Amino acid sequence: MVKAEPSPEFSHIVPLSEIGAAAKPRHILANEAERAALAKRFGLVSLDRLEADVALIPDGNRYIAEGRLWGEASQACVASGVAVPSRIDENFRIRFAAESSYDEDAEIELDADECDTLFHDGRTIDLGEAVAQSFALLLDPFPRSPNADAVLKAAGVKEEGEAGPFGALAALKDKLGKI
């Protein structure tokens, strides 16, 4: 028995048949329930805003989604667990290619200006999921509150300069000076 994939929390399906030759701007906005579900998936304290303006542009047998996304979230500080506010206001560009064109054994080289690639099923594109993934990638992977250094120091975590070989020499010098 094949396990069904869970449906995305913030789904905004666009049929490929609705995408014309000219880019049609769309505004998508996550509602409260969608934001709560995304916050749970991404391990956020809260997700207070997620919206985007997106234009879908045909590119041969692929599609390009270009736009701007805005989001406001709270993440847990990696040191203290205290909520750290995060605000995202960024442009994004995503290429959608047909799943049938994907070769998992092919080697892919990307330039620095290459856009992310997601896949579509040949019938629809899920703009909501693309925006949600883009937002998650823009979040700080190691959010720190203003008191993070003090919390780490109190827990006995050494600073970078204290932990390396020069830190060990400094500690030895301190010990020798006390003798």
**3 in a structural domain:** no
**25 in a structural domain:** yes
- Output the tens digit of pLDDT for each of the chain's 179 residues: 555 566 788 999 898 888 877 777 899 999 999 999 999 999 999 999 999 999 998 888 889 999 999 999 999 998 888 999 999 999 999 999 888 655 555 555 545 455 688 888 888 899 999 999 999 999 999 998 888 777 777 777 766 555 556 655 666 666 666 66
E-only strand ranges, 42-161 = 46-59, 62-76, 83-98, 116-120, 124-126
**131 in a structural domain:** yes
- DSSP assignment, residue 9? S
Q: How many domains does the chain have?
A: 2
Question: Is there a single domain that holds both residue 28 and residue 69?
Answer: yes
pTM score: 0.76
What pLDDT is attached to residue 112? Answer: 45
Question: Is there a single domain that holds both residue 53 and residue 103?
Answer: yes
Residues in the chain: 179
Helix axes 127-138, 32-42, angle to 10 degrees: 50
**4 in a structural domain:** no
With beta carbons less than 8 A apart as the criterion, state whether 86 and 140 touch.
yes
**172 in a structural domain:** yes
Question: Is there a single domain that holds both residue 131 and residue 178?
Answer: no
Question: Is there a single domain that holds both residue 137 and residue 156?
Answer: no
Q: What angle do CA 63, 66, 67 make, to 5 degrees?
A: 150
Q: What is the residue range of 175's domain?
A: 147-179
What pLDDT is attached to residue 170? Answer: 61
Question: Is there a single domain that holds both residue 115 and residue 177?
Answer: no
* Cβ neighbours, 10 Å, residue 130: 25
